[in-house]
Amino acid sequence: MEVLWAPWRMEYILNHPKEEGCIFCAALGGNAEAKGVLFTGAHTLVMMNKFPYINGHLLVAPKSHKADLKSLTAGEQTALMKMISRSLEILKQVMKAEGFNVGLNLGKVAGAGVEDHLHFHIVPRWMGDTNFMTVFGDIRVIPEHMEQTYRRLLPHFREVREEGDADI
């Protein structure tokens, strides 16, 4: 495997132990910026993925701790889909994303890192992006520090809150 140097990651590795419990439930309290939370509405939350495939990799989850879609109320389902849609628009505007991978991993065998709190991944894509590096070189290229990406996205998610509709 090739080595891609990213010395700024050492601070993260040394100062961020693995969280116990549900990351989404924990994200609802405390310092939103430290947890990468961009939006909290009546039914949904949006946060940065701490282990992104590429810059702007977001996680959109219901606030309620539920493991599958059938457990969500109709209102939660609607709010979740609207928040995914709004997040896509923000990523198009701010990050100039040209496409997206949007997915839901249900169950450990399907790749769910957090099995008991369903969440959608939104991965922005660009023509010629570097995601092929992971397949061919076992290397992931993240061109912008996560804190910078967070600061660029946050004002747009704050506007969602200020529009007066808690969940779009």
Task: Give catalytic residues, as residue numbers.
Answer: 119
Q: Which residues contact 166 (CB under 8 A, 6 or more apart)?
A: 41, 42, 43
| CA gap 26, 36 in Å, rounded | 11
Q: Which residues contact 49 (CB under 8 A, 6 or more apart)?
A: 36, 57, 58, 59, 121
- DSSP strand pairing (37-40 vs 99-104): unpaired
| CA gap 150, 116 in Å, rounded | 26
